[in-house]
């Protein structure tokens, strides 16, 4: 484990204010972390990472959800079906869960609803950015260290062949953010220059492709930052995430 990973996973678990199901599977739930003080006018649906594997669940992002709630953000920390014994996940089931989880926290009038994903969750968020159902429910997408180019991730053998496990050996084009239609909402990508788990080149590849297709996509590189700092409260990279979430939206223009 890296020092960044130790710092995140060493934080104490923060229980949610409520847990809401969106389907019959035990993993089809969202944990709600609600502001205790003045609301910031921002709702976040948060997707955790872990290379889509059952071994990693939403609990490690509970401290992030609680920290965002302390900033006045209403957070829905989503679980989804994952790959592994009893997990029931893999493409497209995992993605279908994300679409349903985002939609149940639909956008309220005159407020932002941001879909935020980290790592494998970032991959799912980028896929959802081009989905009409999600675009009707959210105003923005923020992807943190996303697995944004599945073909390249497969070539690199990230996390011991995690992409092969997730896709079941298939190569569906709609599973790869680089190959999907342009994002229908503004997308912000945050990626550390020193990420040892998901190389920055994957985000650069996605941004190049998405921009060429006319999408509203912005990449913010985080110098000297690895894979976990942006989702660890108290770090400088976490401050970059807060800026992305609390700054005014770039608008709701959607490609046709």
Q: Which residues contact 240 (CB under 8 A, 6 or more apart)?
A: 190, 220, 222, 230
* Token pair listed for 36: 């205790």
Render pLDDT for 174-185 as a digit per residue (tens, 0 to 9): 999 999 999 999
* Dihedral angle over CA of 122, 83, 197, 172, nearest 10: -60
Q: Considering the domain 3-246, what is its CATH architecture?
A: 3-Layer(aba) Sandwich (3.40)
Mean pLDDT of all residues belonging to the chain:
94
Give the model's pLDDT for residue 253: 39
Render pLDDT for 72-101 as a digit per residue (tens, 0 to 9): 999 999 999 999 999 999 999 999 999 999
pLDDT exceeds cutoff 70 at 113:
yes
**Strand ranges, E, within the chain:** 18-21, 29-33, 42-47, 74-78, 112-118, 140-144, 187-192, 217-222
**Over the range 80-103, which residues count as b (16 or more CB within 10 Å of their CB) and which as e?**
bbbbeeebbbbbeebbebbbbbbb
CA–CA gap between residue 64 and residue 116 (Å, rounded): 12
Q: Are 163 and 150 in contact (CB under 8 A)?
A: yes
Give the model's pLDDT for residue 105: 56
Q: Are 138 and 113 in contact (CB under 8 A)?
A: yes
pLDDT exceeds cutoff 50 at 16:
yes
Map out the domains of the chain as residue ranges: 3-246
pLDDT exceeds cutoff 60 at 255:
no
Give the model's pLDDT for residue 244: 96
Give the model's pLDDT for residue 251: 60
Give the model's pLDDT for residue 141: 98
pLDDT exceeds cutoff 90 at 159:
yes
pLDDT exceeds cutoff 80 at 1:
no
Q: What percent of the chain has pLDDT over 90?
A: 88
Q: Radius of gyration of the chain from Cα atoms?
A: 16
Full-model pTM: 0.95
54 CB burial (10 A radius; 0-12, 13-18, 19+): middle
């Amino acid at each position: 484990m890296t020092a960044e990973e130790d710092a995140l996973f060493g934080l104490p678990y923060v229980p949610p204010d409520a847990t809401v199901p969106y389907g019959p599977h035990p993993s089809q739930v969202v944990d709600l972390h609600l502001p205790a003080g003045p609301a910031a006018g921002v709702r976040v649906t948060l997707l955790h990472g872990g290379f889509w594997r059952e071994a990693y669940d939403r609990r490690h992002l509970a401290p992030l959800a609680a920290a965002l709630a302390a900033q006045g953000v209403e957070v829905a920390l989503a679980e989804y079906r994952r790959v592994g014994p009893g997990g029931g996940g893999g493409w497209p089931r995992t993605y279908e869960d994300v679409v349903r989880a985002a939609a149940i926290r639909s956008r309220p009038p005159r407020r932002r609803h941001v879909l935020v994903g980290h790592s494998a969750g970032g991959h799912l968020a980028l896929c959802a950015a081009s989905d009409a159902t999600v675009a009707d429910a959210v105003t923005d997408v923020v992807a943190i260290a996303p697995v944004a180019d599945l073909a390249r991730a497969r070539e690199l053998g990230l996390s011991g062949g995690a992409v092969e496990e997730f896709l079941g050996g298939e190569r569906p084009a709609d599973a790869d953010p680089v190959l999907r239609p342009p994002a229908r909402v503004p997308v912000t990508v945050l990626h550390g220059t020193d990420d040892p788990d998901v190389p920055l080149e994957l985000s650069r590849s996605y941004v190049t492709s998405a921009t060429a297709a006319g999408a509203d996509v912005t990449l913010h590189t985080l110098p000297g930052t690895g894979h976990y700092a942006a989702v660890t409260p108290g770090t400088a990279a976490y401050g970059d995430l807060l800026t992305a979430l609390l700054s005014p939206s770039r608008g709701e223009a959607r490609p046709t």
